[in-house]
Amino acid sequence: MFEFQITAKNNRARTGVFATPHGDLITPVFAPVGTQATVKTLTPEHLKDINATLVLSNTYHLYLRPGDELVRDMGGLHKFMQWPRPILTDSGGFQVFSLAQTRKIDGDGVTFKSHIDGSTHRFTPEKSIAIQENLGADIIMAFDECSDPNDHAYTKLAMERTHRWAERCVKAKTRDDQALFGIIQGGVNPDLRAESAKFISSLDTPGIAIGGLSVGETKDEMHAMLDVIQPLLPENKPRYLMGVGTPEDLINGVLRGVDIFDCVLPTRLARHHSAFAPEGRLNLMNASFARDENPIDATCDCYTCQTFTRGYIRHLIVAKELLAGALISIHNLRALIRLMESIRGYITDGSLESRVPELLGQWRGNAERAGKKLMADG
Amino acid sequence: MFEFQITAKNNRARTGVFATPHGDLITPVFAPVGTQATVKTLTPEHLKDINATLVLSNTYHLYLRPGDELVRDMGGLHKFMQWPRPILTDSGGFQVFSLAQTRKIDGDGVTFKSHIDGSTHRFTPEKSIAIQENLGADIIMAFDECSDPNDHAYTKLAMERTHRWAERCVKAKTRDDQALFGIIQGGVNPDLRAESAKFISSLDTPGIAIGGLSVGETKDEMHAMLDVIQPLLPENKPRYLMGVGTPEDLINGVLRGVDIFDCVLPTRLARHHSAFAPEGRLNLMNASFARDENPIDATCDCYTCQTFTRGYIRHLIVAKELLAGALISIHNLRALIRLMESIRGYITDGSLESRVPELLGQWRGNAERAGKKLMADG
């Protein structure tokens, strides 16, 4: 279990198979985000139809509501949300720092108030693992502290704390059917990123996550950090770039050896009427689409594009019909999953690097990030 | 086209086939309501999965948004909303009287202000037919006035106006591929209902609608009006009881010779967390369902009941996830469509009347009406 077989390489980019208790993940892979044990507005059937494999769910949210012990007693997260394929849970750390009302951090953990009802809770590395063991995802995360990338003095402190917490998570873990990933931090400081990459690699977890990126730094800074980290990581373990990202970020991440991505961007954009399209990102509420008989993307094989016109979707948006968000979510997710399918094919046939200008060109105008707030609340 | 073949009878109850340009309607049939060219939160695939055939859409809403000429130019309502099976549109009259901000009625028609933006519009019988011809439904309705059942003096005036308007609708109609139904009014006055049934029957439209019921009168009054009307109607035309209703109303309607029903009740209830269940209507937000591992209805064959627990749906509701409304809508609609499938079987095998106590018993606790407001806004 949790063996990672690389089947093809194209310079630093790799395609491979990560074996989990709920089936093989073919990488590189993009994971839709199901914050509260549901990818907003979509059924598991919709997700299967777009060939989603890995789905991410958020520990902080599920701990607060409906509660990890309830999920455990209902048979675990796969059964609860009826997703038979692999699931990844984060550690809860990112949401504690970005969503909770107040928080007080110490060496042992974090005390915070729920954003839902203001009630007081405490997460420690051991608690995060216990919650994630109750939830029962295939891939779980070490409890980490994601610091402001612009606060360089604090970044070192947060990184060191993240390392101590990662060791405690490794010790606290009891289930053999879950792969724990340590998380590299270090902000935008190359020395710290290198130190963190080496330390987390030394823990010999079945996979390695890269946290603290796409949180306000520039694209160049993100790429520089990935360039620092990549040569220091073990080859035979999957690398997960947390909370990333845009189509452009996915392409650039794969080129720098990343295997797993997740982001709320496609579903969040969809609920705000924004669709990935060949001519760039479209706000489908725009009156220019009222009589548009084309699908969002004539080259797309998703249910939405195979069935509905832009004009109809625009009507649903204007009429405040919730189906609009679901239909655009299907398309936006399928667009990123198709991108990853293409990339895997290009790695396998050795053409990825030569296709980068074409790929980036196809996605021009779809590149902006969702923003930090969007990452945090699914 | 629009021939109605009765295939079996059980006293006054009938089962039959009404041929339309988009396929045969097997009656008695319950039509989900897709007010704004969408059955709220559901895709056409969901509707096919629950064996929906006829879908109702609202002329008043579609006229205002996106506009009937736009729908015509986009290929008509079937193509626009991608519903390949029969569609029925109402005349717009009911919403003008229940939803519009202000209205001024005269012998020729009604001037009203949109509930969306306060803009002024005018409907006449000719205008209603022109709009419905642009929309292109298989079954369309004569423009009528539905009056307050408690205002007996006014009821006669409104009924006579409805009759004159029905004659004008018959004359105004130009499309051969649409079946126009005249509408019987007359409030809860047996003499007026009889007069209206005779007059509307004399117009020889391919079907006959019964309006102005389930708008505040008692169940006994509704049944009495159906009892008055039924013997006066031509046998070989489908009868459509507009905006009805509860499971109990459907059973009682079929027993009094009704063939077609529609109601927002199942979808509206669903969005308010209320589900049809064997033990009565359930509010799934109730904490008692938090750890309930049963489906809403263990005897139901719908996707929701075959897939999800009450506990999971309760979590979605508490977490304010929109998927909850979609999942309960699927179940509630399927429950009424299954009821109609059972009833058709019982008419065919001659057992309907003997099964009435059992049927009503099964639906005890699911009987309350949605209320007038719910009927009007889908």
* Chain segment A132-180, per-residue pLDDT in tens: 999 999 999 999 998 887 788 899 999 999 999 999 999 999 999 999 9
User: Which of A38, A315, A325 is opposite residue B316, by nearest beta carbon?
Assistant: A38
Taking a C-beta distance cutoff of 8 angstroms, is the pair A205, A182 a contact?
A: yes
Rounded (10°) angle between helices A323-348 and A310-318: 140
With vertex at residue B102, the alpha carbon angle to CA B97 and CA B107, rounded to the nearest 5 degrees, is 60
Residues from chain B that touch A61, judged by Cβ atoms under 8 A, are 319
Percent of chain A with pLDDT over 90: 88
Q: Is residue B162 very low, low, confident or very high in pLDDT (cuts 50, 70, 90)?
A: very high
Choose from A57, A315, A321 for mutation: most chain B CBs within 10 A: A315
What is the average pLDDT across B230-244?
A: 97
Q: Cβ of A319 and B65 within 8 Å?
A: yes
Least confident of A214-223, A359-368, B315-324, B349-358: A359-368
What is the reported pLDDT for A375?
Answer: 43
Query: Does the structure show a pLDDT above 80 at A14?
Result: yes
Q: Cβ of B303 and A45 within 8 Å?
A: yes
Taking a C-beta distance cutoff of 8 angstroms, is the pair B39, B48 a contact?
A: no
What is the reported pLDDT for B148?
Answer: 80
What is the reported pLDDT for B80?
Answer: 98
Residues from chain A that touch B321, judged by Cβ atoms under 8 A, are 36, 38, 40
What is the reported pLDDT for B150?
Answer: 79
The minimum CA-CA distance between A71 and chain B, rounded to whole Å, is 9
Interface residue ranges in chain A relative to chain B, Cβ cutoff 8 Å: 36-38, 40-45, 61, 65-66, 70, 73-75, 80-82, 290-291, 293, 303, 307-309, 311-312, 314-316, 318-319, 321-323, 325-327
CA distance to A40, A105, A214, B180, per residue, from A36 (Å): 8, 25, 22, 48
What is the reported pLDDT for A367?
Answer: 55
What is the reported pLDDT for A368?
Answer: 56
Q: Is the peptide bond before B149 cis (omega within 30 degrees of 0)?
A: no
Residues from chain A that touch B288, judged by Cβ atoms under 8 A, are none
Least confident of A123-132, A192-201, A353-362: A353-362
Taking a C-beta distance cutoff of 8 angstroms, is the pair A192, A145 a contact?
A: no
Residue type at A106 in one-letter notation: D
Enumerate helices (H) and strands (E) in chain A, giving the number of each: 16, 16
Residue B179 phi, psi dihedral angles, 5° rounding: -95, 115
What is the reported pLDDT for B378?
Answer: 44
pLDDT in tens, A260-275: 999 999 999 999 999 9
Catalytic positions of B, written as ranges: 90, 262
User: Which of A40, A81, A309 is opposite residue B322, by nearest beta carbon?
Assistant: A40
User: Which of B40, B290, B327 is opposite residue A322, by nearest beta carbon?
Assistant: B40
Mean confidence (pLDDT) of chain A: 94
**What domains can you pick out in chain B, each with its CATH number?**
4-263 (3.20.20.105), 270-362 (no CATH)
- Nearest Cα neighbor of A267 from A351, A165, A374 is A374
Taking a C-beta distance cutoff of 8 angstroms, is the pair A58, A377 a contact?
A: no
Provide CB contacts within 8 A for B153, sequence distance 6+.
none
Mean confidence (pLDDT) of chain B: 94
Query: Does the structure show a pLDDT above 50 at B371?
Result: no
Least confident of A166-180, A208-222, A287-301: A208-222
Residues from chain B that touch A312, judged by Cβ atoms under 8 A, are 37, 74, 80-82
What is the reported pLDDT for A1?
Answer: 87
Query: Could you tell me the strand order of the sheet in which A103-105 lies?
Result: A103-105, A110-113, A120-123
Residues from chain B that touch A65, judged by Cβ atoms under 8 A, are 315, 318-319
Provide CB contacts within 8 A for B78, sequence distance 6+.
B22, B84, B87, B136
Taking a C-beta distance cutoff of 8 angstroms, is the pair B347, B15 a contact?
A: yes
Query: Does the structure show a pLDDT above 80 at B367?
Result: no
Taking a C-beta distance cutoff of 8 angstroms, is the pair A63, A131 a contact?
A: yes
Rounded (10°) angle between helices B323-348 and B247-255: 20
Query: Does the structure show a pLDDT above 80 at A37?
Result: yes
